[in-house]
Each structure stands twice: as C-alpha cells, then as structure tokens.
Structure 1
Amino acid sequence: MRDGAETAALSEAAFAPALPFALVSAHETLVARGCAGLIEAGPESVGVRARRLLDAAIDAPALLVGALPFRAEVPVHLYRPAELSRSPGRARLAAAFPPPALVRPAARVAPRWQVTPEPSLAAYRSAVANALARMAGGTDDPRKIVLSRSLKLVADRSIDASALLRALSEDASVTAFCVPLGAGPSPRTLVGASPELLVSRRGATVTSHPLAGSARRARDPEADRAAADALLASEKDRREHREVVEAILDQLAPHCAELAVPEAPELTSTASMWHLGTPIAGRLRETGLQALDLALLLHPTPAVCGTPRLPAARAIAELEGYERGFYAGAVGWCDAAGDGDWHVAIRCAELAGREARLYAGAGIVAGSDPEAEGEETSAKFAALLTALGIDEQGRSLAEDVA
C-alpha cells in the first residue's frame, strides 16, 4: 500500500501541465503552475479527497485549482499547483502568457480551418422540437432542458491556447480561463470566457450570479438597445431565468442564515451577448462548507441542465448525442480556509493539437422556437470564433472585412 508521499509523487508524475492554470477577470488574475498533487479517484466524496490533498500541502500552495465535469459520473480534474501568483486586475496575464515577439523574421499566413457542426444546425433544431414535445407530455417531464451543440474545428497547425486566452481576456465583462487537462504530445486544454459566477465564498459570505435568458448584441447602438429591452420584457426568458434563481435559492437556503436577492432580474452583457442576471448574496450558518462543497451542491444549475435536474439530465443525454466532458461544468479554485471562486464553464473550447471542440447551448422551455434557439447557439459561438478570427463556416474574419 502506498503512503501519502508516494501517492502524491505518482500523481504529480502523471500530470505535468505544460501551460499554467489561469483565471483572468477585472477583479483578479490567478495563475497556477505545475502540479504538486492530483485528486485521484476513490470511494470518498470529492470534498473529503480535496481536504486531504489540501492538508498535505507543505512546500506547495494550500490551494486547489481545476475543473468539474458536467456529469457527476465523470471524474473531477482538481490538483494542487506547485507555484501560485495572484494580482489585482489583469496585470499578471502578460507575464504568464506572453504575446509573441513584435518583430518576426517573416509574416505568417493566417491558419486555415475546417469546421464541422456536430450535430448539424438542422439536427439541433429537431432536438429542440423533441425537447418541447417531452415537456408537453405531463407532470413528470422537465419544465426546462438546456440543449447544446458543438463545432469541431481542425486547423492546419497547432492551436495556440495562450493566444486564444489573451484574445478572450480582452472582454472585461467575463472571466477568461485556461485549464490544462492532460499531458502528452497533444495535451488537452480547456479555454474559455465565462460570464457566469456559479459560487464564491469568503468566510461566511457566499455569492452567486446566475444567468439565463439571452439575446445577441448588435453593432448598431439602437438595435443593440432594442435587443436588450426586448430581452428584459420577454415573458419566456424571464420564466426561464426564474427557474435558475429559484433552484439556487432552494439549494442555498438550508445552509444560509440570510439570503438576499432582488425582485427582478437585471440586464448584464458581454461583448457579444445580453443576458438576464440575478446577483444572490448570503451568509452561511456554518463555515464548514467550503467553496468546492458549495459548487458541487449547486452544479449543475438549471442554467446548464434544466429542471427538474434528473429528468432534464436524462433528456440531454438522449437528445444531444455526445459527451459534454467539462463543458457546462465549472472551473475555479478553493483554498485551505474553504474560500474560493467557481465559474460556469461556458463559452469554452477544448483544445488538443490542431483540433478544437467548441460548445454552445440554449435553455428550452415552453414557448421556445427551434429556429430561434439555433440562432442563440450561433450567437454564443461568436465569442470563441471571433477570438480565433473566423466565422461559423471557418472563413477568416479579416477577409470578410476586406
């Protein structure tokens, strides 16, 4: 039987990330390098295994970083980094992910891309229609199902995860993230720009900022304002949003002495999307619940799964036709004191060598229109595609402008 030191050494050897873990927001840049211990599979809960790994911290930071998958059956990816740096705002991003040299020996030709929708847009619309039929079936059926689709991208060269992270970080309204998932010749990396805070804990204070209900932004200011006003007035979108907020409140209420939530949702925006959002703040009854415990309690919210949770998850498994992996999971950190931040893993791509898998989803409720929901997923792909410099067909955005 291995002792703790040997197990930690084997974990570190099994996972040696080439890229740093990073969370980049207007509030803070957190960069974690290397691996001093990896949470391994086991019969105990994730929270118990996480505390054991944190308690073993001696020379390395007493902090865990990583990602939670969408499905509970998929192993979590959490590890203790060997080095950690934190700074206000985005000051440390350039140091951790330096841009290429300003002077190059020769101009590089832009990458060429092959884009394959999986499923096709037509198949996605059919799945939405199927979901609507299920929701109309009776009281035991879901009230909301969040269906996603993906784009498989293949470039003519390796995809630069650092460049993608830098591009996504230009939007000050999101938390950009980079999560190394594996080592080897073509290491997998999850890169994205989440607009949604799943949960944050600082001492007894807990906060969450769920988003649900979306509209594409427009370049024309008048059209953009009209899209925002229409979203705020939409009965369908407000109903979809309410499902998310009520579910989070129901999960937090037994653990909180106080909970504060506004009566109506607020408009929030990224560079490409309008959303309905509701800030939630509470005070924990006991501080034994660490940030990771709270994230596991709330995840997956109706914003990425649906309601009720179990029948919605079953419908997703049957209708989407692929494994989400860490898409629609959560990325973040938790320290030995139990504090931490966890963000919903949306607007993201999984990179491996020359390939990328992009994801986008939409909440389906009574009154949803299959064509409109397909358009919403296209709008949500825009953040990643724009950062890569292409449209949904793989055409260069620079060529379109020219």
Structure 2
Amino acid sequence: MQSDVIDDEQVSAATDRLDEVVPALAGALLDQRDALLSVLTGVATRKAAEDEFLRSLRAVSGAPWEILRNSPRRLRRLATFLPSNNLLYSYMLFGAIPSLYTDEIRIRPSARVARSAMAVHEILGPAVRACGGRVEMAPVSQRAFLADCASSDAVVFTGQPENAATLAARLPYGALFLAFGSGPNPVVVGPEADLDAACRGVLAARLYNSGQDCLCTDIVFVHRSVAREVVTRLADDLATVRTGDRRSPSTTVAPLVYPDAVDGAAAFLAGHRESVVRGGGVDAVRGTVEPSLLHVPWQAGLHPPEFFSPVVLTMEYEHAGQIRQWLHSPEETARGMYVSVFGEPGLTQTRVSTSVVCQERITFDIEDGNRPFGGYGPRAGSVRRLGSVTGRPLLLSAEAGRRALP
C-alpha cells in the first residue's frame, strides 16, 4: 500500500530531479521558439501564438513549485484527449509537466488539428524523452483510444460534457477522470467602472485568437447608466480591429479554424439581426466572421452559446441582483466558470453561485497553468473520483495529490 508520508530524502530527490529537468524543458522551448510559432500560427493568430508560447514557458518554469506544493502520487499511465486549440500550452500541461510524475502518457490529438498537434510533439518530444518522460501521441479514433483510457490511472478529457459523461461511465471505478469544459465567462461593466479599462478588457477577453478560446467572454453585462457610452466605444473600437492572415503580427481577427463556429455565429447573428450594432457579416466559404457587436435589453432567459468567434454580445442591466439571479439559474449554475467584474459595488464576493469572480481583471489575467483552472460548474469542469463527480477548479497534479474523496 502506498504511503501518504513523504520523507526528507524523497523530497530532496524529487527536488534535485526537478532542478535538472525543468531548465532543460524550458531551454528546449526557447531553442524551438521559431519552429513552434510556425506550427501554432497554422491554427492561431500570431498574437495568440506568442502569448501561448509565453504561457507555456511560464507553466514549465512553475512546475517545481506546483509539484512540490501538491505532492502528486506517482501515476502509472495517463491518457489525454488534447483540445483543438492551445496546442502547445495543452501539450505542456497534460504531457510534459505530468511526465515528471507519470510513467507513461498517451495523447490523442483532436482530429481537427491532428497534423499541427503531431508537429508540436515531434518538436518537443525528444526533449521530453531526454528528461526521462514517456509521452506518446497518436491520431487514433476515440473508440480506439478508449482502450488506453480503460487501462490508465488517470484520464484528462477536453470536450463536450455529454461526451465526458459517456466516457467516464466506461472507465474503471478507481480511475481519476478530469473533464475540462467551458463556460460563458461574463464580463460585468458596472456604474463605477473605469470605462477605458473595462472596454479594453472586453475586447481582449472576446477577441483572443479571433474568439477561439474557452476563456473568451460570451456575454457582457453593461449597467444602464453607462450602456450608451460603452456600446459606442466598443463599436468604434471594433471598427479599427485589424483582420487578415493569422500569421501577420498585426492581425487580431483571422479566418476561423472551425467551420461549425462560423455556422454558429451566422445563425446567431441572423436570429438577432435587429440587435446588431456593428458588423454582422459572415463568409462561410472563407471562414470569416466580421468583428460584430450586438446589444440587447435585459433578458433573464438569454443564455448565449459559446461563440468561438469575434462576436461581442452586450446586455443592459439595472442592478446587480439581476446578474446574481442569472448566475444562479440552472443553466449558468451548470456551466459556471469565471465572471469578470469592473466597477460593480453589488458584486464584491469571490464567488457567485458556481462562478469565480475576477475583480477588475479578465480571465486571461488570472489564468495560471500551475494553479487550478475554472469554476465550480460541473459542465465547465469536473473531477470523478471513486464514483463521485464534483465540479471545481481543476489541476491534474492537485487531483493526483488528493488522498481522500472530495
């Protein structure tokens, strides 16, 4: 039986290995920067790719602190479903860093971006192996990958919650299962907000990689006292957004990688044509969605989809109680992730329902690869341990370090 007690010699040995391995991995990232950015800009804008590279470097550099803080138990095998975006960052979080406390890792790339994901692995795989890690990536079908999942100590899934539930039901009872989903990540612009900072935050949170990120905001609540000015500012700012080739450093919005995101944006814009303030154009052939702004009055029953496109939706509210009620609705309780609050004195809590509150910051400001990610909504992220499913912020090393049921 594995002991939960770690003696001083074990800690010293672990620290020595991290002190040697982590600089080597960070060095490999820096050495291969140009090659990695060339791959990443095939599926992400240059700005987003550069940001992803820096986040990956920071996560690797923070690995010693993360691992020594969480003391994850040694895993025999980890099976990872790689997401279709943030390929390098996800490879580091669910491949390279876990290889420091896992005997073997099997990764299945998303079929949508398998070639790019395999290219990242080909570039960094040798460095991971040189550091003693065993990470294998294969573009197999989900059905074929289930065999790897069934024989793994832990499984990381990034995809639709419905598919996560189906997969979890087929895993051994004792397997650790982490399901990463998504949420609407609202931004609140209150009556006391610094409008310059708030509007910059809204656009940064919505337009990151042309809107193709689970941290992007899908709805902006604007207090009626500042609604006219905020909507005007956002419309003017969107008019200056640079669109073009994703490899250009000056491009903010590029053709989308996913055809279904284009179709989804087109359907929403067509269904809310009367609310379009700016933009609204969609070219399904080129895969482009014009940076667009919609503004609607308060609608308690409006729960927008994950746009995954440069669509900014603002909704006017009168008092903070409306937002609390919206966040406590069944739909948002299930997918609660983050809520960013600018200048709203009625929302000073650290958490509302299942959403974690970011005061005067957006999601990209607080996201940290060495700390638990997300909120408490089970559709946004959940962990399954010995038959118990709990929605909470997730970090693999922290879950592997837990010695008891949640």
Shorter-normalised TM range: under 0.3
Structure scoring higher RCO (CA < 8 A, sep ≥ 6) equals 1
The structure with the greater share of residues assigned to strand is 1
Using structure 2 for the length normalisation, give the TM-score: 0.25
Richer in helix (by share) = 2
TM-score (norm 1): 0.25
